[in-house]
Chains A and B, each alone.
Chain A
Amino acid sequence: MARDNMNVPAPPPPQIPPMSEPTDSAEPPTVEVRTEEPQASEQLKRDKKSGSSSSARTRARTNGQTSENAAKNTAAEIIGMLDSVRAHHGHPQLERSSVSHRWPVWVIETIGKKSQVEKRPAADIIAETFKRGLAGDPYAEYYYGEACERVNARENDWGSGEENDD
């Protein structure tokens, strides 16, 4: 390969391509719904523009002052997960029978990690998330109850230091 020759000047770094225009499709979109929390993405953009040494997410691991931003990011992430699941499966009763073994693991792992990082009870994070993303949603109570139940079950595992891979 010619570029391996040390005499060849290095190419400029690649540029992030612009997003393509969405195409019309009769099929339902499967894009993750992550845009309901504009503060989170704007924060990330500001971090990139400011040349910050690391993102809010990384700083939150090492500096408690930015945990609020991390909370917003993670809340948006959890909301995106829940909304994606709902978009795909539509009805909570269907979800209970067909995917309840799958989606809560991802959601709950995220809540659990966030709880550990921020040293806050998982129930607070769940309540905050649902208040933010599912206000007025008729199924919010169902999700909240389900999530609390599962997180509580998982917290027992975390407390004992044992991994539960489901």
Chain B
Amino acid sequence: MSSNLFVRPPRDAFLNGKGGSGKTFGVVQIAHALARRNKRVLVVEVDPQDDTADRFDAGDPTRLTMAEVLDHHNPRPITDAITACGWDVPEASYIHVAQGGYMLEDRLHETDKAGAQFRLRRALDALPADMYDHVLLNADPSLGHLVQNCIAALDGEEDRVWITVIPERNEIKGGLRMATFVSNFRQHLMVPNLKFGGVIINKADIRLKLHNRYIEEMPISFKAIDQGAPVPVLPHVIPFRARLAETQSESLPITSFRPSEREGVIESIDALTDVVISRGMEEQEESPNGA
């Protein structure tokens, strides 16, 4: 157990075994929404793909990366990997990014080292407890070592797992697999009481019958996963908006787009952020499509 368990900020991991399911999008948007409320946020990149710093325009080659922070032989403090958000908005100063890097791949070769699955927990435990209000973890799309590090780092009572999905078959399968994995193996990662915050649906195109059908069925699918308590599917669905692809390619905050281009998106993200702040839903209140 960490020594500062009762005062440190809550940690949230955004997971799905399938790539392209909106993990990074969710992390970035919720971090931004928290910052708009003057919450101090640290986003920790644990994916070798390393898109998070790019989205926040935050990469700094003069500082280290999470690859060195998680190094078994000579781990460096996580503070050495922290970089500033480069967005030109006032709330950017409330967002820090512990930058990733492709060298995180090399940590996969150290899985046989003693305590390897707890490297991220140790690194985060060393953060000054009052430095941030929220710590968000962006994991790689797998069930592998880096994801297990993320799960093992969620050892606080307020820590949560969030499953991100887009309403399509493979992404839902990946989400279900991840939820099952967390349910079955959390005790092995020394977090037996770890709770799910919920399932976040994003990029939903309500013009598509397929999306509507999957959104309707998802609560039933996820209900059977978590032994004892169903994984709630959050009703605040983030709608698909074509122009928002540019938030990724141009490293821009969503608020820089015209309201017509981001219609319904910020509202959904703000509602989801309320759920994140309240540490998830106690029980499912309604189905995502309001049925």
Contact = CB atoms under 8 A, between A and B. Distances in A.
Partners in one complex: yes
B65 interface: yes
B62 interface: yes
Contacts of A47: 86
A44 interface: yes
Most buried by A among B68, B77, B86: B86
A135 interface: no
Interface in A37-66: 40-41, 44-45, 47-48, 51-55, 57-58, 61-62
Contacts of A73: 61
Q: Looking at chain A, what size class is its interface with the partner chain?
A: 35 or more
A30 B102 contact: no
A102 B105 contact: yes
A53 B243 CA distance: 20
B163 to A, nearest CB: 23
B5 to A, nearest CB: 15
Given A10-B38, A11-B40, A76 B73 contact: no
Main secondary structure of the interface of A (DSSP, over half): loop
A118 to B, nearest CB: 15
A23 B77 CA distance: 11
A13 interface: yes
Contact of B250 (A11, A17, A31, A62): A62
Main secondary structure of the interface of B (DSSP, over half): loop
Contacts of B77: 20
Interface string B78-90: 0110111011100
A32 B93 contact: no
Interface of B: 38-40, 42, 57, 59-65, 67-68, 71, 73-74, 76-77, 79-80, 82-84, 86-88, 93-94, 96, 101-103, 105-106, 131-133, 249-251, 277
Interface of A: 1, 3-4, 10-11, 13-14, 16-17, 19-20, 23, 25, 27, 29-32, 34-35, 40-41, 44-45, 47-48, 51-55, 57-58, 61-62, 73, 76-77, 80-81, 84, 88, 102, 106
